[in-house]
Structure 1
Amino acid sequence: MNTNFLSLTLELFVGFFALLVMTKVLGKNQITQLTPFDFISALVLGELVGNAIYDKDIGLHYVLYAVVVWGALIYVIEMITQKFRQSRPWLEGTPALIIANGKINYDELRKNKLDLDQLLHLLRDRGVFSIREVEYGVLETNGAVNVLRKHKYDIPINYELNIPFRQTALPVLLILDGEVVDEGLLTIQRENTWLKEELFKRGISGPKEVLYAEWLEGEGLEIQTY
């Protein structure tokens, strides 16, 4: 029994890290831009590892073999779609124009197996609560809908409001979960003592009391305690 537990533990560790490495190799699109092909690939890869781990007749080397071979196939497909544009419609699918000139394209909805309730749900995900607001709607290959609003419903931009130009800066994380982020201090070229002094000015004894703290150029510190 102990041998079985040891073997299972080893296979779980190997399977876990093998999948982690494979995810890094295949890139972030496996998660952030999940196409139908990517979704199926991720399911099959997880299923292969799961079966290999819990099947007593399959050893550790089969776990690695399953991950490497299936991951290699996915990687090859990704390379093909990057190098050969013509292959993308077949392997990744193509976006569909489901709303054009403010009118719903019912034929495209049927072709993509999308009903009106689902369409309205996807539009609400984009902050659109009425079809009348939409000039164009595109169903992306990952199932999301992106919209171009009609002019009278569109959000004004700084250029239209004649707002003076101001340089945009990224916020820098300084404290997270009570721990000082040294990389953040290095980015803004400040010392740990400076951070502690700033906390003390706000009546905070130290980083351990801080849930989240960031620095934004021009606006200073944003601090949230537990």
Structure 2
Amino acid sequence: MNLGTITIEMVIGFFALFFLTKILGKTQLSQLTPFDFISALILGELVGNAMYDPDVHIWMILFAISVWGVLMYSLEMLTQKSMKFRTILEGSPSIVVRKGIIDRKQLKKNKLDINQLQSLIRQKGYFSLRDIEYAILETNGSISVLPKSDIVPATRNDLHLPDKEVTLPVTLILDGRILNENLKTAGLNDDWLRSQLLKRKINSAEEVLYAEWKKGEELLVMKEN
């Protein structure tokens, strides 16, 4: 195969996979089920192997991607419409700790041992099983933890404090460039931002690596090293 043919096939394969992932929707890696992960690997193998096989033409690559894409999309539609099929394909969450007691039957069913359970719980910030009231093993292999009531941090409601407005931080400068759209969304203007920078002895936005604004708080400014 010559370099031109390989380049053309790689470009077509790249965009075909890109459009397929757009059609199938956005899924974080942490949300992938084992079946989703294997499907992604097989799809990549189909395209990768086809590109370097001189007997495989471009239309064959597109055909393979299309067939696999239709199968994946069909399964996705089935899982959305049928609860029973969704359970068969994706599985269902399992309660591995119930009322502070480890359910050994559920651990065996999910091929999970005590050491793995401890590791998953530590990743959630709890270092002792005595702190756990419930632990649920999700279909993607992660674990959700509900700690015992005496471990849960107190909330504003518990302390009878007045409600506080919740606001999102807005990035105003990124890599030395002012994000004018974000500035407008925050109800601010260029003159205000430059005056804030001058207060910090910064003459230009190009000197700033990152600047973040949040209502009721000081402007966060991180300078370039």
Coarse TM-score class (shorter-chain normalised): over 0.9
CA contact (8 A) 1:23 1:30 kept: no
CA contact (8 A) 1:215 1:221 kept: yes
Q: How far did 1:122 drift?
A: 0.8
Distance of 2:189 and 2:92 partners within structure 1? 51
Query: Relative to structure 1, is the Cα distance of residues 213 and 147 closer, same or farther in structure 2, using a 3 angstrom cutoff?
Result: same
Give the one of 13, 16, 19 matched to 2:14.
16
Code of the residue aligned with 1:97 in structure 2: it is I
Give the alignment's TM-score, normalised by structure 2: 0.93
Distance of 2:153 and 2:54 partners within structure 1? 60
Distance of 1:60 and 1:191 partners within structure 2? 51
Number of corresponding residues: 224
Distance of 1:100 and 1:124 partners within structure 2? 17
The yes-or-no answer on 1:195 pairing with 2:193 is yes
Distance of 1:11 and 1:196 partners within structure 2? 49
Query: Relative to structure 1, is the Cα distance of residues 192 and 10 closer, same or farther in structure 2, using a 3 angstrom cutoff?
Result: farther
Structure 1 segments, 4+ long, off by >4 Å, are: none
Tell me what 2:131 maps to.
133
Q: How far did 1:30 drift?
A: 5.5
Q: How far did 1:58 drift?
A: 0.9
| Structure 1 residues 125-159: Cα deviation after superposition (integer angstroms, max 9, x where no partner) | 11111100000000000100001101111122221
Tell me what 1:163 maps to.
161
Partner SS state of residue 153, structure 1? coil
Code of the residue aligned with 1:175 in structure 2: it is I
List alignment gaps of at least 5 residues for structure 2.
Answer: none
Partner SS state of residue 219, structure 2? strand
Distance of 1:166 and 1:225 partners within structure 2? 30
* 1:82-121 equivalent positions in 2, closer than 5 A: 82-121=80-119
Q: How far did 1:194 drift?
A: 2.8
CA contact (8 A) 1:98 1:105 kept: yes
Tell me how large the CA RMSD over aligned residues is. 1.5
CA contact (8 A) 1:109 1:115 kept: yes
Tell me what 1:173 maps to.
171
Give the alignment's TM-score, normalised by structure 1: 0.93
| Structure 1 residues 6-59: Cα deviation after superposition (integer angstroms, max 9, x where no partner) | 111122222222222222221122634111111111111111111111212112
Q: How far did 1:191 drift?
A: 2.6
List alignment gaps of at least 5 residues for structure 1.
Answer: none
Q: How far did 1:83 drift?
A: 1.2
Identity %: 48
CA contact (8 A) 1:97 1:136 kept: yes
| Structure 1 residues 96-141: Cα deviation after superposition (integer angstroms, max 9, x where no partner) | 1100110111111111111122111111111111100000000000
Code of the residue aligned with 2:178 in structure 1: it is V
Partner SS state of residue 185, structure 1? helix
CA contact (8 A) 1:98 1:104 kept: yes
Higher alpha-carbon deviation: 189-198 or 149-158: 189-198
Tell me what 1:54 maps to.
52
Code of the residue aligned with 2:54 in structure 1: it is K
